[in-house]
Amino acid sequence: MNFKIAVLPGDGIGPEISAQGVDVMSAVCERFGHDVEYSYALCGADAIDRTGDPFPEETFRTCLWADAVLFSAVGDPRFDNDPTAKVRPEQGLLAMRKKLGLFANIRPVETFDCLIHMSPLRKEIIEGADFVCIRELTGGMYFGEKFESDDRAYDTNAYTRTEIERILRVAYAYAGRRRKHLTVVDKANVLASSRLWRKVAQEMAPQYPDITTDYMYVDNAAMRMIQDPRDVIVTENTFGDILTDEGSVISGSMGLLPSASTGEKTPVFEPIHGSWPQAKGKNIANPIAQILSVAMLFEHFCLTEEGAAIRQAVNAALDANVRTPEIQIPDGPFYGTREVGAWIVDYIRNH
């Protein structure tokens, strides 16, 4: 296969982990006989500094050219600490999602046997955890009508039937490949938008008779996630953002979990974590979430052997204590971002 990949390193630790993702993808393509071409583009604070736009038109064109986007992270404390800023790095991420029609965000949460002790949850709860959140990504409060003044502000949580139906179809497809159980998460006892979600889901459920559908309020779901993280849930944008960040700590580190965003145009593959500007240039950021995003990229194109090769290499690295400092064993050897990436690349090439 010939791959065209748009690479958006972004801000903070983004360029460091992005480089490892690119190296891993190149190694897999070399091993399995694929050709790959990369095109780099600006996004986030870096794009604001250079162009004034967090998602420039040229970046959008590069994404449309590509078969897939390998994205890293955006965010900068210069903007976080300035509530008056009119342009922010995160607006670039939202613009990318909207312009590419990326309405479905898939966030799997898995555990690694050698890191179970690092989870804040008990071993018997998380051992074998295998959880997926399907998050609607282009609707809700993040994109609804907004108003802000010195005395009053609001964000509109708007959804249409079409938006809900299409994300539910994605969720049912995932549930059908797994335990044949789907939980629709909402706040239908309070929010009108959630009542529409539940109504549409109840109407669609009979179309999937082999899948058990149930419904859960988001506050209850937040509790259930840490009691039994073995399910597929689907939910709206804001709830999904919060729940998936909660789910990320189950594995022991936010630096371990990838995600995919799919929809109308080019799919995007990215780690779930942010830009961690405090670690920029220190060679301590965990590249595994970025690397596993590459595995999800290959699997999106039904290249399961390629994805499995990456997962095998990641597991081998963790088992061999080739880990960045936040998950390293006490008094273990130092491996930085570059060293972990290089070890995984070498493993892929030689196994």
Q: Which of 80, 82, 219, 228 is catalytic?
A: 219
Q: Which of 49, 130, 155, 245 is catalytic?
A: 245
Is 346 an active-site residue?
A: no
Is 241 an active-site residue?
A: yes
Q: How many residues does the chain have?
A: 351
Is 40 an active-site residue?
A: no
Residue 59 tokens, joined: 């970046």
Q: Which of 46, 76, 99, 142 is catalytic?
A: 142
Residue 186 tokens, joined: 């909402």
Residue 167 tokens, joined: 């994300």
Would you give the DSSP letter of residue 233?
E
Number of C-beta neighbours around residue 57 at 10 A: 10
Is 187 an active-site residue?
A: yes
Residue 235 tokens, joined: 């939910």
| Cα 175 to Cα 136, 204, 211, 234, 273, distances in angstroms | 16, 14, 7, 10, 25
Q: What residues have CB less than 8 Å from 180, skipping those under 6 apart?
A: 210, 211, 212
CB 85 within 8 A of CB 79: yes
CA angle 91, 95, 101 (to 5 degrees): 150
Nearest to 205 by CA among 234, 179, 166, 172: 172
CA 120 to chain CA centroid, Å, is: 21
CB 44 within 8 A of CB 10: yes
- What's the Rg (C-alpha) of the chain? 20
Is 245 an active-site residue?
A: yes
Cα(98)–Cα(4) distance, integer angstroms: 21
Residue burial 285-301, b: 16+ Cβ < 10 Å; e: rest: bbbbbbbbbbbbbbbbe
CB 260 within 8 A of CB 105: yes
Q: Which of 187, 208, 231, 335 is catalytic?
A: 187
Residue type, 261: S
Q: Which of 23, 76, 231, 241 is catalytic?
A: 241
Instruction: Show which residues are catalytic.
Output: 142, 187, 219, 241, 245
